[in-house]
Amino acid sequence: MYIGDYLGRREIYSPERLAIIDAGKSPELRLTYREWNRRVNRLANWLKAEAGIAKGDRVAILARDGIEHLDSFFACGKLGAIHTPFNWRLHWRELLALIENTSPKVLFFSDDFKEKVSEIKAAISDKPHAIKHYIHLEGEGLPGSIPYEQVLESSPDAPVTCETLEAEEIACLLFTGGTTGLPKGAMISHRMICWNVLNTIIHDLRHGDIYLNVFPLFHTGGLFTYLSSQVILGNTSILVRQFEPEKVLELIERERVTVFAGVPTMYQMLTEAPNWPTADLSSLRFCTSGGAPLPVPLIQKYMKEKGVRFKQGFGMTEFGPGLFALAPEDAERKAGSIGRPNFFVDVRVVDDQNRPVGPNEPGELVLKGPSRSSGYWNDPEASAAALDEEGWFHTGDIVRYDEEWYFYVLDRKKDMFISGGENIYPVEIENVLYQHPAVQMCAVIGVPDPKWGEVGKACVVLKPGAKATEEELIAFMKGHLASYKVPKSVVFLKELPLSGMGKVLKRELRAKFVQEQEGGGSESEG
Ligand code: AMP
């Protein structure tokens, strides 16, 4: 039985092919499919024999990106266990809450998060859901924790598979965004992985592609945008410990990377790296941008300066990252669009009464299809609330589609604000601000206003050395937008708060400015 044993299959088909380069290790680690499968067999054998991991058990990891995330994911697949990666940005108390909710038996951790693990360990050591085995990936670890190398060395590499595993069973838990309260654990089944791979491959992943992953591996972007598909195709993937623009450009050039994916903030940061002017990106068939709207001026900059074409992608934890795609051929003609729904996803755009709307009318995007997750772990209420009576999943994204069935994300439902009775979609304003030569990053939020209900506030990070005043930016926006959409104020910040994926945390900006406004505090950080 091979469902779940992805690497076991790959060792049969392409044992000698280069599977993975972990460029975050020193020295770099390069493994063929045979070597990797044997390594993961060792881990699975250890988990089974020493930690008693069986079908349905959770195996957790708190670590920056590295091969161990994937080792754990694939070892869990072999055992029918549930890989449970945590967002390392969370506070240890938040992590503790997730651990109490998911009760993993094993926790892998990297040295950078030792303190958090130590707090968690102290808090749960005498509780029924105490973690039984702590495994440190490097460094000295904590009292009683076992070195990862020892785990691998002490176990046989004999094949391990779970005979009774079915496609509907859960492969991993991925915690959503974290931008709205305590993250919920979306249950990702092997069925969901399979359909997401199909959606991704149909949209142009080929045999021989080389993919560089910079997304966090605790997020759907990391595990499923391309990595799972790359393994299923027997291709090579490259890991880095974290997103470092200079290194990313070097690796694309050195390893002749053909497929790269990032969120807009990353693409912006790459253009500011010292080696951007000289970087050779000619091996790239395309770059995929997803996670948030990609400013059109950035698409144009990549085309003009590097000849790199963009594919837009749209996805989400609960339905997989491969939901919509805009082919590179359309990147300019349909700039700003996320493209059309991928092959195995059904979509509708609905109004507040859940009635489908026509072309060019804004509405909420709702989804149906086989790449849907199986609800949220231990949270039947939230699982039920996400679906309407007809089984459509409500995304909370406001979109529209044009006459050719190309979709445009207008905004998140909760990011949209209403000013003087008019719906305002911050993304539209941000796209304009990005055209201003001094603007490096920006985010527009709605803040309370006694006259209009809400008005826009633009939070702007200027490019190093660049200058611009509030009046100047407001005048610039007035030159491009209907006046009711133009933010009433601009605040200059040193940086914007970002999530683990690199998305701007508007919730934090809103909390900051709404509080300050109510408390009458200063709004500027200089
Ligand atoms: P997550 O579950 O963390 O991957 O977040 C999913 C959400 O990210 C979606 O519901 C959208 O709001 C947003 N998103 C993903 N891709 C795009 C995109 N290409 N353009 C705009 N928003 C996006």
DSSP 255-296: TT--EEEE-HHHHHHHHTSTTTTT---TT-SEEEE-SSPPPH
Q: Could you tell me where the DSSP H helices lie in 291-340?
A: 296-306
- Is 116 a member of any domain? yes
Which ligand 1 atom lies nearest to the CA of residue 427?
Answer: 21
Going by CA atoms, what residue is nearest to atom 18 of ligand 1?
Answer: 292
- Is 275 a member of any domain? no
Q: End of a domain among 104, 137, 165?
A: 165
- Is 526 a member of any domain? no
pLDDT in tens, 89-130: 888 988 999 999 999 999 999 999 999 999 999 999 888 778
Q: End of a domain among 113, 136, 165?
A: 165
490: region left, alpha or beta (phi > 0 left; psi from -120 to 50 alpha): beta
Q: How far is the CA of 397 from the centre of ligand 1 (A)?
A: 8
Q: How far is the CA of 400 from the centre of ligand 1 (A)?
A: 15
Please choose, from the candidates 225, 108, 175, 260, the residue with its C-alpha nearest in 3D space to the C-alpha of residue 499. 175
Q: End of a domain among 103, 136, 165?
A: 165
Does any ligand 1 atom lie closer than 6 A to the CB of residue 314?
Answer: yes
- Domain, as residue range, for 83: 1-20+31-165
- Is 511 a member of any domain? yes
- Is 36 a member of any domain? yes
Does any ligand 1 atom lie closer than 6 A to the CB of residue 212?
Answer: no
Residues 287 and 311 sit within 8 Å (Cβ to Cβ) = yes
pLDDT in tens, 3-37: 899 999 999 999 999 999 999 999 999 999 999 99
Mention every residue, 6+ apart, whose C-beta is less than 8 A from residue 355: none
What pLDDT is attached to residue 523?
31
Q: How far is the CA of 292 from the centre of ligand 1 (A)?
A: 5
Rounded Cα–Cα distance for residues 400 and 217 (Å): 31
Does any ligand 1 atom lie closer than 6 A to the CB of residue 223?
Answer: no
Sign of CA dihedral 467, 469, 475, 481: positive
- Is 368 a member of any domain? no
Six token digits for residue 304: 């003009």
- Is 149 a member of any domain? yes
Below-50 pLDDT ranges, the chain: 1, 178-180, 520-526
Does any ligand 1 atom lie closer than 6 A to the CB of residue 322?
Answer: no
Strand partners, 412: 397
- Is 296 a member of any domain? no
Six token digits for residue 13: 């088909």
Going by CA atoms, what residue is nearest to atom 9 of ligand 1?
Answer: 316
pTM: 0.88
What pLDDT is attached to residue 128?
77
Going by CA atoms, what residue is nearest to atom 1 of ligand 1?
Answer: 316
Backbone angles phi, psi at 183, to 5 degrees: -60, 145
Whether omega for the bond prior to residue 27 falls within 30 degrees of 0, making it cis, is yes
Count how many domains the chain has.
2
Six token digits for residue 183: 């993250």
- What CATH number does the domain containing 511 carry? 3.30.300.30
- What CATH number does the domain containing 10 carry? 3.40.50.12780
Going by CA atoms, what residue is nearest to atom 15 of ligand 1?
Answer: 291
